Structures are given as structure tokens and as C-alpha cells.
Structure 1
């Protein structure tokens, strides 16, 4: 089973891949409509909003948490 290099989501079904392309190593949530991978800033913003909306976190804490989580993933380790 693959995990998304950009968010860590397990990709267990073909529908989890961008444009159903199983050769990609990132999920549909980390892809633009054309199938290209979103950049770090886009993922940071998305995850920050997720933490604010679903975990009721303060914006500053949500952004710091998102940054720490993302930096541990293969796509963002060297950035």
C-alpha cells in the first residue's frame, strides 16, 4: 500500500490517485485538476484550514502544527 508523499494519506483505491493515475506517489487531495502536485505553500494553507475548521485550533497554532506535520513527509523534508 502506498502513502501520499505530500500528506501521508494511505492510497488504497485507484480513486485515491490524481486522475486515477497509480504511477503518482501523491493523492488526489494533493493534486491540481491537471494532476500536478500542489506546492508546499498550498498544502500548508490547506492543512492549516483543516485544523482550524475540524479541530477548532487557533490560526497560529494550526499553522505551526501543519508545518511540523508536513515537514516530516517525504515531499517536504528538504524544503
Structure 2
């Protein structure tokens, strides 16, 4: 089973891949409509919003938590 390098989601079905392209190492949620991978800032914003909503926390807490989560993933390790 592949894991998305940008968000960590398990990719278990062809529908999990952008444009159904199983050669990609990132999931459909981390891709633009054209299949290219989103930037760190785009994912950071999305994960921040999801975390704040799902855990009912302040945006500042969600932003810091999202940063900590994302920086551990393979796609973003080279940023540091």
C-alpha cells in the first residue's frame, strides 16, 4: 500500500490517485485538477482548516499543528 507523500493518506484504490494515475506518489486531495501536486502552502492552508473544524480549536493552534504534521512527510522534508 502506498501512502501519500504530501498528506500521509493511505492510497488503496485507483480512485485515490490524481487523474487515476497510479504512478503518482501523492493522492487526489494533494493534486490540482490537472494532476500536478499542490504546494506546501496550499496543503498547509487546507490541513489547517480541516484540523480547526474537526477538532474545534483556534486557527492559530490548528495552523501550528498542521505545520508539525506536514513537515514530517516526505514531500516537505526538503523544505527544512
TM-score (norm 2): 0.97
Structure 1: which 4+ aligned runs deviate by more than 6 Å? none
1:60 deviates by 0.5
Q: Pairwise mapping of residues 57-72 of structure 1 onto structure 2 (< 5 A)?
A: 57-72=57-72
TM-score (norm 1): 0.98
1:53 deviates by 1.1
1:52 deviates by 1.1
Q: Aligned pairs, how many?
A: 79
Q: Counterpart of 2:48?
A: 48
1:49 deviates by 0.1
Q: Tell me how large the CA RMSD over aligned residues is.
A: 0.4
Q: Pairwise mapping of residues 1-79 of structure 1 onto structure 2 (< 5 A)?
A: 1-79=1-79
Gaps (5+ residues) in structure 1? none
